[in-house]
Structure 1
Amino acid sequence: MEKDLQEKGYISFATYNNRSEKFEEFVKLDALGITFLQDKKELLLKTAFCCMASDGEIAQEEIDTIQQLCEKEDLLKNFDFTTEIRDFVTEINTKGKLFIQEYLSDLERASLSKQENVILLHIAFEMIYADNKVEYSEVKFFKSIRSRLKISDTVIEAHFKEIPDLDIFLEQDIINNFSLEKITIQYLNSVEIPQFKLEDFKL
């Protein structure tokens, strides 16, 4: 898997950010977007943060991407970007991998519509590609997220067909019949969550 990721030459989100008109229209016209903003907006931002930290590193490009999302995406505009990031960094430094586990538990308990699932995965893809590289642990983390959502490959392919090598994110695990818990454990065992230093980032 790691060799595949290296050889397939992932591109930056400069390409993915040229989203199709279909997706833009979908976001604008979906009335559920307002519900997402009011009731589940923190889940979106926490998704962005956890995807950023999921490989055990936080790149400035990823911080910048979250800031851009908070400035440009209607679903995230009400966030105080600096405060939220500082709070998340403090919390993940205190809890370590438990922070990630708690996020995944929150995601599993959330009752998301098909539209909300698509929006959440859009945020996840934005963050995974933000630093112009895709790590094996990020693919495993994406699978941990996706396995908690009620969304089919067909729907994902319809909305994210422009994602380079989308099949890597959708293919079954090497070991079949993994339970949800085992998928999560495999991801957590593949990554170390360090102590992140706020002073290393430009907020």
Structure 2
Amino acid sequence: MSRLFDDLRHLRVAVIHPPGEDRDILQGQLKRIGCQVRWIWPFCQARPSDTDVIFFLVDREQSPSADWCQTETEAVLIALIDYENPTALGALLATNASAVITKPFRSFGILSTLVLARSSNDYKKRLNSKVKRLEDTLRSRREIEKAVHILAERKAVSTSEAYETIRRQATAQRIPVAQVATELIRATEAFDKMGL
């Protein structure tokens, strides 16, 4: 938790919002927090580079149609809205925002929203990383099972003997079992295509 607060002074923040009183309030609070703030207007079609947090406006005239608002980014996305109706909420849900701030902006609430959005985004990244590792593990297991069945069928041995053969090859070559399994599958497919 303390890391989240300590990092605030080093945050590179982009704010996509037209000039005016609301932007001034947001600017004042972000500068008091110690963030390095960059202002962008009109709404940009490419994600601002070198940023940790992006505040972006979702309103009637300028709905965020850029793809970067709707996909995973390294930067934390915080939406800024000035009204709540089905159209605005639909546009908000189409984004990948971790938090939202409604107008009129007040200095109270910006810090807590920023901290919560960053924490939520970090948690989401950790979950995505775990999901990716699990998907990789499942993919590897499927490859190993397929290779074991191919080897057992071709050599007329049990599946446990086929697995041990693959495992010994992996140990001898100092590579993962899944890599040996993938190579076996590819070689088998290549031989099958040639009719061998």
Band of TM-score, shorter chain: under 0.3
Of Structure 1 and Structure 2, the greater strand share is in 2
Structure having the higher helix fraction is 1
